[in-house]
Amino acid sequence: MQHLTFIPLLIASASMAQVHSGDIVLAVSSGNAITTNASDQFGSITSQRVFEAAFGESPNFTNDPGFDSDNGTFPANSTVGFRIRRALRDWSGIEFSDDDIADERIQVRLGPLGPTLTPTSDVVVTGFSLAANSSGKFHHHLGYTLLPKPGESQPADGVYLLELELFSNQPSIQTSRPFWLVFNQNRPTQEHQAAIDWVNANLVCTADFNADGTVDFFDYLDFVAAFSGNDATADFNADTVIDFFDYLDFVATFSQGCA
């Protein structure tokens, strides 16, 4: 198995200027397609698997966040497609429960492509693929529409969870890890944020520090390297200080593993 180099990827600020701010930035590391967040003001990109979104660009619709990459990320004109991994969930106020599939559905389309609909049970639905340009840059905005429950004219206000993965048509590039879009439909910001925090705490396996899908000794080594290098990713308890408590928390999480 390939050992992924750990992120953050440092990308020259000149090239970062080409990436659309606020989009989900895609990068390929050691043959794996990975999702990342947009760069911070220092030009550093860190792995992120939970993204916020909000309907209402037009009623029940948004095409943000889009997907963007630097030039040369993908082979020229190769394609990247998406899969919906599970049925849509709505936020209970406490959790996104496994048994609580939303009555609403999200439809994904782009121009003539699609629509692809979230399934009504937990099956994988393959959507459509889009091409990187001749410079290997992938920048597209999918359109997401929240559809009402059958028989209703309007979808209910709420916070909705969509689980996706991305795949390349290049066999050398592996499918991304699952990632999540947390959509807000007219609920208070605090409620949206609570749902995002829950996904980060409960669905992202933080012990898998190098995000390659397994918890093993490489995660420990990579954490120790980040910790020794005072890398921002070593702030495991997210209190903005890197200290021994981060080490203790990482070791505790690592020992526990992930489901």
Q: What is the strand order of the sheet 67-69 is part of?
A: 32-36, 24-29, 67-69
Size of the site for Ca ion (CB under 5 A): 9
Of 31 and 72, nearer to Ca ion (C-beta) is 31
Q: Residue 252 Cβ, how far from Ca ion at the closest point, in Å? A: 13
Those residues whose C-beta lies under 8 Å from the C-beta of residue 191, and which sit 6 or more positions away, are: 91, 93, 159, 184
Other CB atoms within a 10 A radius of the CB of residue 33 amount to 23
Q: Residue 236 Cβ, how far from Ca ion at the closest point, in Å? A: 6
Q: Residue 10 Cβ, how far from Ca ion at the closest point, in Å? A: 21
Looking at the DSSP bridge assignments, the partners of residue 163 are 180
Of 104 and 212, nearer to Ca ion (C-beta) is 212
Instruction: Restricting to residues 198-257, name those near Ca ion by CB under 5 A.
Output: 208, 210, 212, 219, 235, 237, 239, 241, 246
Of 231 and 235, nearer to Ca ion (C-beta) is 235
Q: Residue 221 Cβ, how far from Ca ion at the closest point, in Å? A: 10
Q: Residue 229 Cβ, how far from Ca ion at the closest point, in Å? A: 15
Of 181 and 242, nearer to Ca ion (C-beta) is 242
Of 55 and 254, nearer to Ca ion (C-beta) is 254
Cα dihedral angle (118, 120, 123, 124), rounded to 10 degrees? -10
Instruction: Please tell me the total number of residues recorded for the chain in this structure.
Output: 259
CA distance 93 to 40: 30
Pair 57, 64: CB distance under 8 Å: yes
> Would you tell me which residues interact with Ca ion (CB under 5 A)?
208, 210, 212, 219, 235, 237, 239, 241, 246
